[in-house]
Amino acid sequence: MASFVIEGGYPLHGTVQPIGNKNAALPLLAASLLTDEALTLHNVPEIGDVNTMLAILGQLGVEIDRRGSTITLCARHVNRTDPNAQLFAQIRGSLTLMGPLLARFQHFSVNTAAGGDDIGRRRIDTHLQVLEGLGARREINGKFALNANGRLRGADILLDETSVTATENGVMAAALAQGTTILRNIASEPHVQDVCNLLVKMGCPIEGIGSNTLIVHGQDSLRGGEFYVSPDFVEVGSFIGLGAITPGELRIQGVIPDHLRMMNMVFGGRLGVKMHIEHDPHAAPEQAYTLVVEDNQELRITPDFGGAVPKIDDAPWPAFPPDLMSIALVVATQAEGTVILHEKMYESRLYFVDRLITMGAQVILCDPHRAVVVGPRRLVGQPVSSPDIRAGMALVLAALAADGVTTIGNVQQIDRGYQRIDEKLRNIGARIQRVD
């Protein structure tokens, strides 16, 4: 097992390029099951979770041609509908296989639960509500299985929560269902929009993309095509945090400004991060916008009206993303003032703060969902371990801002969501080494 050895306190400067959105790439790969024609995806991140999803698809019979960040898949000869249990249990994104397999082959079965970060209970009831609403039948007989008697049928379905993966499963299943499906109270994150936009390219008309209601006009079959995965706004947010708490100017090239509006309100408005966007009209469209996190930051928490302690909380898009709460918490430790962070979705997301406290952060964990941060506090390097993808990256940020040396263990968790992050950080001046 590998670790990162990080010597903090050095300025970072230069340009970084965000990878393709991890949470888009996994369902986009799963969407290859919806057609017997070739589907080519560009800007796919070269990360652990993508490797696992490709292994699952290959085991199902999907032909895969991978050339760096471009992957071509053809599901013409799929020969089974029961994903490998060991692989399925490694990533949460494996759940997005349910909708495509059920829609095209009328069957899905597995004898294990989906994996992913250990951040609390992650229910699948909304997935079942949507798929059963389209006509699937649930069976439990040694294995968990979903079956359809012929094609799924369009329906008007109100999701009981705005689940991202349940929305993705629902829209992919509805794309091959008979008739029109209306999905209400759905998630609308950029990765959900990527899935919808891909399905439109594959021949399925969808109305309401980007809103909380989708109207999906099911088709008898879908074609293949090409699609460019949008930049990972969570990695962009991670680099905003990194640039804020280390000296030097950091440039993040290839951002989508509309994805950053709430991040600007939280990092800029709440925590005092100075940043701006530059536009190059002569660059390729995917490189046209660069976010600049300025040098000489003076982080200061902005109180609410009347001097009240402000709060940062997460919620469904377009609110602040849950995956960036760990990053915001680390930035808050280096900002002058007091702030409450309220992580509403997962009861174990904030448990990593004990590592920050050992490094010198002043954090009070009120309960599994709320933490009070008082800053700024000088951080000192310590041996710590990465509990999940996002907390692991937050610890990398803390280590780069700390005095001395920090050793972060269990970094395969970070590798699941960040592509060769140690190399990327060394290129901008970080002193970070990967060791066994």
Q: Give the tokens for residue 261.
A: 């509006």
C-alpha span between 171 and 205 (Å, rounded): 11
Please say if 117 is a catalytic residue.
Answer: yes
CB atoms within 10 A of CB 142: 8
- From 117, 232, 314, 422, active-site residue: 117
C-alpha span between 140 and 181 (Å, rounded): 27
For the annotated catalytic residues, the residue numbers are: 117
